[in-house]
Amino acid sequence: MARDIGIDLGTANVLIHVKGRGIVLDEPSVVAIEKQTGRVMAVGEEAFRMVGRTPGNIVAIRPMKDGVIADFEQTEAMLKHFLNKINVKSMFSKPRILICCPTNITSVEQKAIREAAEKSGSKNVYLEEEPKVAAVGAGMDIFQPSGHMVVDIGGGTTDVAVLSMGDVVTASSIKVAGDQFDQDILNYIKKKYKLLIGVRTSEAIKMEVATVSPSGREAEMEIRGRDMVSGLPRTISITASEIYGSLMESASHIVQAAKSVLERTPPELSADIIDRGVILTGGGALIHGIDELLADELKVPVMIAEEPMHCVANGTGIMLENLDRLSNKKATL
């Protein structure tokens, strides 16, 4: 039985979509390694629980940090682990696999990703650009001769693209996305309160109280960390309005990337975008107020896709059904 498998190989999360079954795996892109031997101790959810909490000889890393493959061996190990976990070999004979990986990876890295997938039992491996698949997963019919614009805000990268007739017309990719907001919050707390917090705490702040909305947000949260002066644990309370300022620089990079794409878009397609609006995908689209900010700045309607974190994974399923229309990267590798 031939089956199709789609993989969103994201810098923050890996999702695997199996035709007819939907998303069968959704785990953080984290690997825990024993430092001296390089042995992989844990992958995904289990490794994520160790972030910031490992003893000295173990380190929990994100092998694809910042939208590039920072550690290729660990990326490969992670991909193999996930494919084994869903037991591809016993499930299907010769599945077709479509992988969406960061836009900036080199052709050598692309080849190695393909090989890792092939070793897990597939002879037909395709790679595709993330914004294109995100747009399809968000429900856009990008194969028509009309303009669609997607802003995919992930963990490491924000990809902005205008698509028409199944291809990218204008695009921009910047290394400012959800992770940068976490870092901004962490830096702000450190500077203002002399309090050290971990990335997991700053991510929780981003989700629960942060906003980039010009109209603000009513939210407050108690956070714990280590006082830089006394070295002792300390609890403070923070509000949405004070976090707002620390996020504005990163938010404006995302706005600028979207503006630069619109400025380079042919006028007929711009007109389509005014009618249809811009769709936001990726987990970063869930930061409070990003839709309002972009709508204010771009002067076009902006909507957050349904289940923005699942768009790429769901899009792989749709793309695999349209393999003939897919610009097949396989031949070029």
Binding site for ligand ATP (CB under 6 A): 8, 10-13, 67, 102, 154-157, 177-179, 203, 206-207, 282-284, 286-287, 309
In angstroms, the first-to-last Cα distance of the chain is: 27
**Measured from the CB atom, is 146 or 173 closer to ligand ATP?**
173
* Residues in a beta bridge with 239: 220
Is 292 a known ligand-binding residue? no
Min CB(26)–ligand ATP separation in Å:
9
- Is 257 annotated for ligand binding? no
Is 283 annotated as a binding-site member?
Answer: yes
Smallest gap from Cβ 283 to ligand ATP, in A, equals 2
Using CA atoms, how far apart are residues 7 and 134, in angstroms rounded to an integer? 12
CB of 240 to ligand ATP, least distance (A): 13
Nearest to 78 by CA among 13, 167, 166, 158: 13
Closest CA to 47 of 82, 3, 1: 82
12 in a labelled binding site = yes
Q: What share of the chain is helix, strand, coil (3-state, %, to 5)?
A: 40, 25, 30
| Minimum distance of ligand ATP from residue 192's CB (angstroms) | 21
d(CA 10, CA 23) in angstroms, rounded, equals 14
Query: Strand (E) positions, the chain?
Result: 4-9, 13-18, 22-28, 31-34, 40-43, 58-61, 96-101, 124-129, 148-153, 158-164, 167-174, 195-196, 220-227, 233-239, 278-281, 302-304
CB of 28 to ligand ATP, least distance (A): 8
**52 annotated binding-site participant:** no
Token duo for residue 129: 């650009």
Instruction: Identify which of residues 146 and 158 has a Cβ nearer to ligand ATP in the complex.
Output: 158
| Nearer residue to ligand ATP within complex by CB, 3 or 81 | 81
Confirm or deny that 76 is annotated as ligand binding: no
Rounded to a whole number of angstroms, the minimum distance from the CB of residue 286 to ligand ATP is 3
156 in Cβ contact with 177 (< 8 Å): yes
156 is in an annotated binding site: yes
Angular region, 219: left φ>0, alpha ψ -120 to 50, beta rest = beta
Q: Which residue lies nearer to ligand ATP by CB, 6 or 155?
A: 155
**Which of 137, 117, 134, 135 is closest to 126 using CA atoms?**
117
Is 206 annotated for ligand binding? yes
Please identify, using beta-carbon distances, which residue of 212 and 269 lies nearer to ligand ATP. Answer: 212
Nearer to ligand ATP, 10 or 44 (CB): 10
Annotated binding site for ATP: 11-13, 155-157, 203-206, 283-286
Annotated binding site: 11-13, 155-157, 203-206, 283-286
